[in-house]
Structure 1
């Protein structure tokens, strides 16, 4: 496990705040040799890099809008042109634009959500994965941050939930494809947390028996699972129960359970980040 990080080249998207920043802190603390921090805010990225600076860690920042395919392609091409093949890629960046019902959501907002949450990780992996497969010098890891919203549908987040459901399905299928093709040195981990207390989902109402997750603990769970090459981490445990209930119960019965537990009203008072 420690060999995966110590001396490794690690790329993290959305590294300027929230869980992305915490992933970067873990990587630096555990001995990464090269830490590539990607995000939209150049000043915030520079501040994170300055805080993490220490002997033995090369810190690089890349300002890129993941909703812009050409910009993403250019950033990935620059990385590979410099001979820098990532050992770990953390697809952490994500957006939610509002808590509007779907028919009130601006089409451009829906498009951006899917671009950043789903298509950007797919595109970035498509650019970097062939080189990661080719380089067998050390274990390779992909960590894709999905969401419990992709498992349990929730009103007022239709596009976000759809984007994360697609990410989850793609990520887990990619894991199977790599194993089937014999590329065992590349492992894929999908992380599906419920609400995490990073500010992104500020104002959400509590769901019965489902606490808002501490970001440090959430990142720790995802990080350890990634190092171990585990397939999928779902947290907290009540999401497992909801997943099973939704699969076993008729739709109307499950809807009644979800309403009782407060799932369907949890986004009513959302005031979190719009991007």
Structure 2
């Protein structure tokens, strides 16, 4: 079913997770500039969150900044209840994420747990807490930032790939469940590596430069407003999906490693703090 497009988020209440930096900060600013009636920003980074809140208030928008650890279900439940009681949410942007990059054997158990909690479970929990009131308010939107890593297998990021693959499958399944609702649309965005600081050391692939966060946010925003179900960025991701589908496994593995450069793209990954996991919300 085709959903009616939104011209903007003017007058809407917008919730952005992982808003203290990177794309989350850009999403929050975009909402403010378009005239959102309230921008709700969540992040575990209190200092960064306050900085973004101050920036948004200069744009004369009502800001609700909450320090929320998305690895903690009780904090999600409390923050969601507060968002609902103080006016509700029209637009949900599930943006927060962490990156894990190392051979699986070297992962610490807390890295595995945190990656799954924030990248996979948090969007589910948040959406579950807000879904009933989202469907009742009309013209609702749920935007989830997954990843092109959720579409492929890749050495040195097995847990991250798994977390984003699950997020993608869940988000698009939710879209199908809500297909009969004419007023709410679900959009999933799958970009390749983005230069937010989380992918320091990741190598660009064939015809696939490291994406600028501004271009990803702009494309995601347009897709969210129009109700586009799924966006792969850049176009080479779609080509990769086609090749993976038609080539024999051994041929695809050769192309992915030696031609496109997927399988060695994380060989020199450092991440934001030069550790194997960035434990800050995006």
What TM-score do the two structures reach when normalised by structure 1? 0.95
Partner in structure 1 of residue 262 of structure 2: 263
Q: Which residue of 2 aligns with 1:117?
A: 119
Equivalent-residue separation in structure 1 for 2:7 and 2:261 (angstroms): 43
Unaligned runs of 5+ in 2: 273-277
1:70 aligns with 2:93: no
* 2: CA distance, partners of 1:3 / 1:191: 19
| Counterpart for residue 147 of structure 2 | 147
Distance 2:214 2:193 in 1: 13
Deviation of 1:101 after TM superposition, in Å, equals 0.7
**Secondary structure, counterpart of 2:15 in structure 1:** strand
- C-alpha distance in structure 1 between counterparts of 2:107 and 2:161, whole Å: 14
Q: Distance in 1 between matches of 2:189 and 2:69?
A: 22
Q: Deviations over 1:1-57 (max 9, x none)?
A: 555400110000000000000111111111111000100011111101111214651
The question of whether the paired residues in 1 share the 8 Å contact of 2:33 and 2:59 is answered with no
Find the counterpart in structure 2 of residue 106 from structure 1: 108
In the TM superposition, what is the alpha-carbon distance from 1:81 to its structure 2 partner? Answer: 2.5
Q: What is the SS of the residue equivalent to 2:20? A: coil
Candidates 90, 94, 117, aligned match of 1:91: 94
Preserved contact between residue 20 and residue 92 of structure 1 (Cα < 8 Å): yes
Residue 10 of structure 1 contacts residue 88 of structure 1 at CA under 8 Å; is this kept in 2? yes
Question: Does residue 18 of structure 2 align to residue 14 of structure 1?
Answer: yes
Cα distance in 2, alignment partners of residues 92 and 146 from structure 1 = 8
Match of 1:266, SS?
coil
Q: Distance in 1 between matches of 2:133 and 2:158?
A: 35
Equivalent pair of 2:140/2:184 in contact (CA under 8 Å) = yes
User: Structure 1 runs of 4+ off > 2 angstroms?
Assistant: 1-4
Note the C-alpha offset of 1:135.
1.8
Runs of 5+ unmatched residues, structure 1? none
Ranked by relative contact order (alpha carbons within 8 Å, sequence separation 6 or more), the top structure is 2
Aligned to 1:175: 175
Paired residues in the alignment total: 269
